[in-house]
Amino acid sequence: MYALFKKEISNFLSSLIGIMVIVVFLLITGLFLWVFKSDFNLLSYGYANLDGLFILAPWVFLFLVPAVTMRSFAEENRTGTIEMLLTKPLSDWQIIMAKFLASVALVLLALIPTGVYYFSVYRLGFPMGNLDSGSILGSYIGLFLLSASFISIGIFCSSVTNNQILAFILSVFLCGFIYIGFEFIYSLSLFGPIDLFIQRLGIASHYSSISRGVVDTRDILYFLSVMALFLSSTKLVLASRKW
């Protein structure tokens, strides 16, 4: 499994997609937070916080994560190397987890440099250091869990097709629906007393909760459940090839 993980990481970092994901993420967030005159601009906001980053980042990941995961199984299916991979002394779970963890590592590589944003805001605060570090830490945890959930969805979408573009479109749609779709359905007030339950089915509700700095075990379990659901579904798709 470790060898496959290293191979996947190497493929990411030696390919245009892997480098572009990191560069594009940092470029978009950097421009909106520091350059463009917008609601996200930290210098115009007047308060020492990183709320703009944590509002913007999920929307950027909504498109970048599917770009990372679209080739994970779709390319293997298209070239036929999936059959050879499945004959290796690796279980289906080891194959899935190696690809999942490699994608998670790439996202972490994109997130780590944003620590410069925290340091900058920390220094710019008046007095220096006057910011809610607990809330920022919770937001980073929430953003990591959100991106890992997107990755699990993207890997599942990649496993059901041999077309990378189709895998990308499916992943963007499914990630978008699970992220914000339930918020839209909840706002219609169609379900009466279970409206709040419908809202809690979406990622946005739990991400928002963690971003307030309160790391609730129910939110953690929700994200782990989303990952488990889609990674298990991927396992089922791979297992179906042997039937």
Domain ranges of the chain: 2-240
pLDDT score recorded for residue 129: 65
Q: How large is the average pLDDT for residues 87-111? A: 90
pLDDT score recorded for residue 222: 95
Q: How many CB atoms lie within 10 A of CB 185?
A: 17
Backbone angles phi, psi at 242, to 5 degrees: -95, -5
Is residue 2 pLDDT above 80, yes or no?
no
Is the four-CA dihedral 105, 107, 108, 110 of positive or negative sign?
positive
Q: How confident is the model at residue 243 (pLDDT cuts 50, 70, 90)?
A: low
pLDDT in tens, 125-178: 667 766 777 888 889 999 999 999 999 999 999 999 989 999 999 999 999 999
pLDDT score recorded for residue 45: 67
Q: How confident is the model at residue 98 (pLDDT cuts 50, 70, 90)?
A: very high
Backbone angles phi, psi at 215, to 5 degrees: -85, 90
pLDDT score recorded for residue 10: 84
**At a CB cut-off of 8 Å and minimum separation 6, what does 183 contact?**
199, 202, 204, 205
pLDDT score recorded for residue 46: 64
**Rg (alpha carbons) of the chain, rounded to whole number:** 19
Is residue 5 pLDDT above 70, yes or no?
yes
Nearest in space to 145 (alpha carbons), one of 113, 176, 108, 173 = 108
Q: How large is the average pLDDT for residues 15-37? A: 87
- 3 or 94: which carries more pLDDT confidence? 94
Q: How many CB atoms lie within 10 A of CB 68?
A: 28
Q: How large is the average pLDDT for residues 65-89? A: 81
What is the value of pTM for the model shown? 0.92
pLDDT score recorded for residue 35: 82
pLDDT in tens, 188-223: 766 667 777 887 889 998 998 888 777 788 999 999
